[in-house]
Structure 1
Amino acid sequence: MYEPIRTKSVHSTMAGTSDFPHRTREEELDIQLASHLAALLAVTDDLHAQAPSTDLDAAAERLARQVARLRGGRPPARATTTGPTRAAALHRRAHALAGRALVVAASRADTAAAILAAERMDAHAAALATDTSATGTLAATA
């Protein structure tokens, strides 16, 4: 009834017998943090396309530098805008991405990335608060 396994297991646990490369925890965290920051950069570029500002320019440059640092000097791909999207939705998305980046940066003790992510969270939270108060005022007068 039992047929013995005749091929080498793909789940080998013995040290040195694996045929696929492994990454360290630090390398995995670097990849994850670079991905979150690159996504935040894309949303920042979308926001900048809708309403250009020097704050968004500076944030985009800082994000691009951090992504390049985490990717071994390779600059991130900069996409064109994805189309018309409400600014509030973009700010909510950016706030969430910055929060994820902050968690990963704190996990890997990357102070520069953590500070940048926290600053971006604050900026997007402030933009959301301003947007909410402006729409609340408009709704009250309507």
Structure 2
Amino acid sequence: MSTLSTVRPGDTVRITTDTSTEPFWRAAKERRLVAPRCAACGTFRMPPTPFCPECRSTDIDWVELSGEAEVYSYSVVHGFPGHPDLLLVAAVVDLAGAPGARLVTNIVGIDPGTVEIGMRVTVDFSPISDGWMLPVFRATEGR
């Protein structure tokens, strides 16, 4: 019997927002995954920033994504300060439909020994403090 990966207890995860990041978090609260795209040159950027790193424009379009992604990198974390029994799969995922945009996240509900680079995953949302939702990912069925 294997132990499945999880996330930190929601009441221990706190976020702060600013004008650059709040649209991302508001969408997540609605169980939608979005990414900022420069309205001038079309470059996606993650994490959200006040200006485009390519052309310096401050014009942003928030694009709703499919929620599909691919594991770019990951690490298995055994225990977390104050939570020694947690088993986490911290990952960086390439977001489908947003070339160049990557998100730092957790892969949840999976035996960590089965996670692979290039594995297809789908977004899910986990409640955290103050009513916000945290985007996490699960293995895509039939992967």
* TM-score class normalised by the smaller sequence: under 0.3
Specify which structure has the higher proportion of helix: 1
Larger radius of gyration: 1
Specify which structure has the higher proportion of strand: 2
TM-score w.r.t. length of structure 2: 0.20
Q: Which has the higher contact order (CA 8 A, sep 6+)?
A: 2
